[in-house]
Structure 1
Amino acid sequence: MTTVELTRFHVAPGDVSRLLAARPAMLADFRADRAGFLGAWLVRLPGDEWLDIVHWRTAGDFADSRAKGANLPGVRAFFEAIDHVVSAEAGTAVEDEDRASGTDGTA
């Protein structure tokens, strides 16, 4: 089953444009360097907080990615725009995108 990484973090108001500018390169680095990376969604929350929802093929792929840290310039630039991490956790997806959107006829 797919592993879902949920990272909530704070970005100072003056660093939002830097965070958003760094996002495409971070995603490109993940696609090139992180086995099992399936996709990510960045959500802006109230109070200068953000939520990054990242889908991984397996928990092992997620663990391998965490071990690499900010090993590439695009990842590093994105991480450097973050003031501090509020919380980080992972779970297992119980439905896929097709099922959640009803395109498989079950919703």
Structure 2
Amino acid sequence: MELTRFRVAPENVEALLAARPRMIADFEADRAGFLGARLVRLPDGEWLDIVEWRSPQDYAASSRKGPNLPGVKAFFDAIDSLVSAEEGVLSA
């Protein structure tokens, strides 16, 4: 699991939400091991992106690619600042 918390300025929220479907489509097409993602809106302009990966290796490979496709770049561009990024393992 990838848990990324970030801030988005109010004027960028619409761009973030508009870019989300394209980002997901890019991940599905280009990121091996991508299983799905949920975006959670938190108070005070913060968001939490919960991304599920098949393995830690798939997550690491995805991280190395960065914003390599237009949908991923548009989503990343709407983010103002990173608050935290963590990796975890889903327990049954």
Question: Among residues 67, 79, 82, which one is paired with 1:82 in the alignment?
Answer: 79
Runs ≥4 residues deviating over 2 A = none
Counterpart check, 1:25 vs 2:22: yes
TM-score (norm 2): 0.99
TM-score (norm 1): 0.86
Counterpart check, 1:48 vs 2:45: yes
> What do you get for the CA RMSD once the two structures are aligned?
0.3
Counterpart check, 1:94 vs 2:88: no
Give the superposition deviation at 1:52: 0.1
Give the number of equivalent residue pairs: 92
Q: Whole-Å Cα distance in 2 between the matches of residues 18 and 73 of structure 1? A: 13
* Corresponding residue for residue 33 of structure 2: 36
In percent, how many aligned pairs have the same letter? 67
Q: Whole-Å Cα distance in 2 between the matches of residues 22 and 14 of structure 1? A: 14
Q: Whole-Å Cα distance in 2 between the matches of residues 51 and 71 of structure 1? A: 21
Residue ranges of structure 1 left out of the alignment (5+ in a row): 96-107
